[in-house]
């Protein structure tokens, strides 16, 4: 009886792990898309609104779902909270702190950090070019993420269950 | 004075400058920051280099040198992390921040069809601490009062740079706008609508269109606007009773002042000139004086004792010119020329 209960638990846990991994693959392209939208919004604020950067980031954050919104919000508030920070430091810290909460990977983190080192310190055209470049890079990451999703999402869903079955068979 | 600008400075500079003794902090006029070169501070018309330990020397050896990182942080702070939103300011070469402080910038310019479009690679900053001297015009104002119209006479203020012209007209704007007439007979008069055309953002020091100096409750400011156009715009749109303009000198300025005086507006203008004699040598000013656009001419002089002024009726100013051309009788108009009046150092602008 107990053996049966254990087997059921193992099967359940395995399936859940598989689903969770699959969800990460589904989540990443979605968040990349949201990130691209957020940067487009920032582009508009800078290019047409001439909005000062902290305010532009706040506005972007309010139009972006979590966990991405926190990155923008923290980057904006960091410069006032820590006196020794430049914007680049604040932006980088916000990204590193918040990254765990997202489904995104190293590549897009590098793209964002590179963007942060240029935000706010050059003229409008230059800013727009850098944001554009970041958008292009994110787009290619998104395409890759969608490929991965197609390839691995289903696989992980069944793989979790199958490994659990294997463990149960070995245990019995 | 340091306390007013300290929020603009990155941490390293702030800690260094806060080591200055209190009286030095109070007298601070300029902080000159050049990337990789000695830090210079200006006070009471003098300048010194700042050493790493916070002491001041005349020689530059061993001085503190701001790093590229410090300059970048400074630039970020003074532009509110948004250089891209400062295109107009960069074209003019300075940024005015809240509190009226002006930060001059130097670096490599970007040209567009031969015109300066902005500055990039900014490597030098000059933070000029603004000071507002409330009551700077208290001694002068009673002499400019027009008793019939219960307002000011049109006045031209002459002085070389750095003599307190801007401080003076700012205080005139404030007093007239509040209705703080500093004489007994005028104490019941109401304030007048004041229009300021602030081409270089010095009088009102507007940040995003809102004056950061107290220029009075009945004052409208046309910020960063060419003077002649600004005057006409204000006359048409805001119906001012007193117009205040800094540093007139171009022919179109004269045209606009003429228009304004015909509309019954009192114009208080300043101009760069060493003295009356010098002003008469400038065609635009001479023509305005000849046409009677101004009732009074005020000369300013900054001395050890403070800022002194002398009020001369405009006709007398012209007549004395004629008199001098005849090379006779300098005593011709002693009644018209009042003695130099001044203020003690304590509240020297």
Please spell the DSSP secondary structure of B175-230, one letter per residue: HHHHT--SSSTTTTSPP--EEEEETTS-SS-EETTEESS---TTEEEEET--HHHH
Would the CB atoms of A124 and B69 count as touching at under 8 Å?
no
Under 8 Å between Cβ of B249 and B272: yes
Under 8 Å between Cβ of B342 and B306: yes
Report the alpha-carbon distance of residue B212 to residue B203 in Å, rounded: 10
DSSP B54: S
Residues B78 and B199 in one domain: no
Task: Count up the domains in chain A and report the number.
Answer: 1
Under 8 Å between Cβ of B314 and B289: yes
Residue B326 in this model has a pLDDT that exceeds 60? no
Would the CB atoms of B81 and A87 count as touching at under 8 Å?
yes
For chain B, say whether A118 makes contact (Cβ under 8 Å). Answer: no
Q: What is the pLDDT of residue B117?
A: 82
Query: Which tens digit of pLDDT belongs to each residue from B271-317?
Result: 988 888 888 888 888 888 888 889 899 988 877 677 788 888 888 77
Q: What is the pLDDT of residue B335?
A: 40
Query: Which tens digit of pLDDT belongs to each residue from A105-146?
Result: 888 889 889 998 888 888 888 889 999 999 999 899 889 888
Residue numbers of the domain that contains B212: 141-347
Report the alpha-carbon distance of residue A166 to residue A154 in Å, rounded: 18
Phi/psi of residue B222, nearest 5 degrees: -100, 105
Task: Count up the domains in chain B and report the number.
Answer: 2
**Confidence band of B347 (pLDDT split at 50, 70, 90):** very low
Q: What is the pLDDT of residue B60?
A: 85
Q: What is the DSSP string of B93-127?
A: TEEE-TTS-EEEEEEEEEEETTEEEEEEEEEEEEE
* Interface mutation target, options A47, A51, A53, chain B, most CBs of B under 10 Å: A53
Q: What is the pLDDT of residue B343?
A: 54
Would the CB atoms of A54 and B81 count as touching at under 8 Å?
yes
Report the alpha-carbon distance of residue B170 to residue B157 in Å, rounded: 12
Structural domain contains residue B135: no
Chain A closest-CA separation from residue B3 CA (Å): 16
Map chain A to HEC letters: CHHHHHHHHHHHHHHHHHHHHHHHHHHHHHHHHHHHHHHHHHHHHHHHHCCCHHHHHHHHHHCCCCCHHHHHHHHHHHHHHCCCCCHHHHHHHHHHHHHCCCCCCHHHHHHHHHHHCCCCCCCHHHHHHHHHHHHHHHHHHHHHHHHHHHHHHHHHHHHHHHHHHHHHHHHC
Under 8 Å between Cβ of B125 and B32: yes
* Residue from B174, B172, B219 nearest B195 by CA: B219
Residues B262 and B156 in one domain: yes
Q: What is the pLDDT of residue A75?
A: 87
**Spacing of C-alpha B262 from chain mean position:** 26
Report the alpha-carbon distance of residue A77 to residue A94 in Å, rounded: 10
CATH of residue B96's domain is: 3.30.450
Average pLDDT over residues A95-112: 87
Domain boundary at B62, B97, B128, which?
B128
Residues B124 and B146 in one domain: no
Report the alpha-carbon distance of residue B73 to residue A85 in Å, rounded: 8
Domain boundary at B93, B128, B163, which?
B128
Give percent of chain B above pLDDT 90.
Answer: 19
Residues B174 and B82 in one domain: no
Q: What is the pLDDT of residue B345?
A: 46
Report the alpha-carbon distance of residue B1 to residue B21 in Å, rounded: 12
Residue B89 in this model has a pLDDT that exceeds 60? yes
Q: What is the pLDDT of residue B340?
A: 58
Query: Which tens digit of pLDDT belongs to each residue from B173-194?
Result: 999 999 888 887 777 888 899 9
**Confidence band of B155 (pLDDT split at 50, 70, 90):** very high
Tokens encoding B151 = 């307002």
Q: What is the pLDDT of residue B346?
A: 43
Residues B93 and B121 in one domain: yes
Which residues sit opposite B146 in a β-bridge? B151
Residues B14 and B96 in one domain: yes
Tokens encoding B79 = 């532009």
For chain A, say whether B83 makes contact (Cβ under 8 Å). Answer: yes
Chain A closest-CA separation from residue B166 CA (Å): 30
**Confidence band of A37 (pLDDT split at 50, 70, 90):** very high
Under 8 Å between Cβ of B53 and B43: no
For chain B, say whether A120 makes contact (Cβ under 8 Å). Answer: yes
Would the CB atoms of B82 and A120 count as touching at under 8 Å?
yes
Average pLDDT over residues A14-22: 88
**Spacing of C-alpha A133 from chain mean position:** 18
Structural domain contains residue B205: yes
Q: Report cis status (omega within 30 of 0) of the bond before B57.
A: no
Residues B210 and B323 in one domain: yes
Which residues sit opposite B270 in a β-bridge? B157
> What residues of chain B lie within 8 A of the CB of A126, using their CB?
84
Report the alpha-carbon distance of residue B108 to residue B118 in Å, rounded: 9
Query: Which tens digit of pLDDT belongs to each residue from B54-81?
Result: 888 888 888 899 999 889 888 888 888 8
Strands B28-34 and B40-43: antiparallel
Across chain B, what does the average pLDDT equal? 83
Q: What is the pLDDT of residue B321?
A: 56
Average pLDDT over residues B104-120: 86
Q: What is the pLDDT of residue B336?
A: 41
ipTM of the modeled complex: 0.76
Domain boundary at B68, B95, B128, which?
B128
Tokens encoding B129 = 């601490």
The more confident residue out of A25 and B270 is B270
Residue B34 in this model has a pLDDT that exceeds 60? yes
Q: What is the pLDDT of residue B319?
A: 72
Residue with tokens 């787009």: A139
Q: What is the pLDDT of residue B328?
A: 34
Under 8 Å between Cβ of B253 and B270: no
> What residues of chain A lie within 8 A of the CB of B118, using their CB?
123
Residue with tokens 């001098």: B324
Chain A closest-CA separation from residue B118 CA (Å): 8
For chain B, say whether A34 makes contact (Cβ under 8 Å). Answer: no
Q: Which of residues 130-169 of A touch B (CB under 8 A)?
A: none
Q: What is the pLDDT of residue B322?
A: 53
Residue A81 in this model has a pLDDT that exceeds 50? yes
């Amino acid at each position: 009886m107990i053996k049966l209960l254990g087997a059921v638990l193992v099967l359940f846990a395995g399936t859940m792990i598989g689903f969770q991994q699959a969800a990460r693959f589904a989540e990443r392209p979605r968040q990349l898309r949201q990130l691209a939208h957020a940067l487009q919004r920032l582009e508009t604020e800078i290019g047409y609104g001439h909005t000062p950067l902290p305010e532009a980031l706040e506005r972007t954050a309010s139009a972006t779902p979590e966990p991405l919104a926190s990155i923008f919000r923290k980057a904006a508030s960091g410069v006032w909270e820590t006196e020794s920070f430049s914007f680049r430091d604040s932006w980088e810290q916000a990204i590193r702190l918040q990254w765990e909460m997202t489904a995104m990977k190293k590549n897009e983190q590098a793209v964002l950090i590179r963007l942060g080192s240029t935000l706010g310190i050059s003229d409008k055209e230059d800013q727009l070019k850098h944001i554009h470049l970041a958008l292009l890079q994110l787009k290619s990451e998104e395409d890759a993420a969608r490929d991965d999703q197609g390839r691995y999402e289903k696989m992980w869903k069944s793989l979790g269950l199958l490994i659990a079955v294997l463990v149960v068979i070995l245990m019995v | 004075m340091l306390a007013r600008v300290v929020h603009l400075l990155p941490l390293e500079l702030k800690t260094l400058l806060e080591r200055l003794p209190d009286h030095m902090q109070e007298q601070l006029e300029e902080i000159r920051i050049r990337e990789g070169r000695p830090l210079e501070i200006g006070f009471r018309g003098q300048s010194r280099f700042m050493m790493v330990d916070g002491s001041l020397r005349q020689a530059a050896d061993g001085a503190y040198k701001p790093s590229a990182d410090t300059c970048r942080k400074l630039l970020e702070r003074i532009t509110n992390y948004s250089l891209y939103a400062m295109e107009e300011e960069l074209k003019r070469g300075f940024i005015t921040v809240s509190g009226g402080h002006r930060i001059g910038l130097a670096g490599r310019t970007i040209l567009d069809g031969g015109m300066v479009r902005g500055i990039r690679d900014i490597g030098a900053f000059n933070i000029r601490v603004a000071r507002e001297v409330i009551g700077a015009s208290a001694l002068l104002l009673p002499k400019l009062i027009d008793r019939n119209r219960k307002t000011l006479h049109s006045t031209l203020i002459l002085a070389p740079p750095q003599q307190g012209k801007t401080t003076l007209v700012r205080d005139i704007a404030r007093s007239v706008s509040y209705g703080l007439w500093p004489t007994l007979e005028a104490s019941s008069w109401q304030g007048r609508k004041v229009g300021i055309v602030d081409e270089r953002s010095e009088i009102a020091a507007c940040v995003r269109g809102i004056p950061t100096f107290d220029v009075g409750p009945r004052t409208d400011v046309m910020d960063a606007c060419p003077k002649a156009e600004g005057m006409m715009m204000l006359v048409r749109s805001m119906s001012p009773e007193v117009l205040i303009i800094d540093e007139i000198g171009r022919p179109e300025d004269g045209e606009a002042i003429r228009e304004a005086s015909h509309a019954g507006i009192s114009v208080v203008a300043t101009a760069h000139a060493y003295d009356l004699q010098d002003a008469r040598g400038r065609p635009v000013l001479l023509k305005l004086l000849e046409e009677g656009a101004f009732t009074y001419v005020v000369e300013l002089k900054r001395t050890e004792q403070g800022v002194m002024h002398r009020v001369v009726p405009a006709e007398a100013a012209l007549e004395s010119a004629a008199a001098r051309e005849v090379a006779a009788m300098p005593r011709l108009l002693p009644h018209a020329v009042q003695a130099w009046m001044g203020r003690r150092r304590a509240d020297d602008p």
